[in-house]
Amino acid sequence: MNPNFKNAGIIILNTGFESLPNELLKKMVADILNNETKTIEFAFLFSQKMQTNGWNMDSVFLSEWVGNVPNEILKLKDEMDELVEIKMIEMVRENNSSKTIESQKPISFEIDNKVFFWNPGQMKFPWK
């Protein structure tokens, strides 16, 4: 092992129509960092989700740290947030639908004989 090596981290992109709810992913990653690895000490989570009912659209972008994060790389979050803001402004100004993300859909999977299922639910229509 390199004696200059201090710690390790990972970046997790939680994006697209099968992205997990951010709070659930945060708990899962914290559990893995605490119980499943001794090498990776921290994670940067970037989540985006979009949901639409045809009239309204909710689009959320979140970024946060999990674990023991070294001070010298904490600024990465601010830089990522700034980049997302620039991209969102660009998307709205250009009105380019090819840059949008797909609406979330229900997902399910099985790990270690445990079944996970999540449904984003329905958005209310503006007249309701």
- Whether 20 is in a domain gets the answer yes
Q: Tell me what pLDDT residue 96 has.
A: 57
Q: Which domain holds residue 81?
A: 8-118
Q: What are the pLDDT tens digits along the chain (128 aa)?
A: 566 767 789 999 888 667 788 888 999 999 999 999 888 999 999 888 777 777 777 777 888 899 999 888 888 888 888 887 887 777 667 765 555 556 667 778 788 888 877 777 776 777 77
DSSP codes of every residue in 53-104: -SS-EEEEEEEEEEE---GGGTHHHHHHHHHHHHHHHHHHHHT-GGGSPPPP
- Whether 2 is in a domain gets the answer no
Q: Tell me what pLDDT residue 41 has.
A: 93
Neighbours of 123 (CB within 10 A): 16
Number of domains in the chain: 1
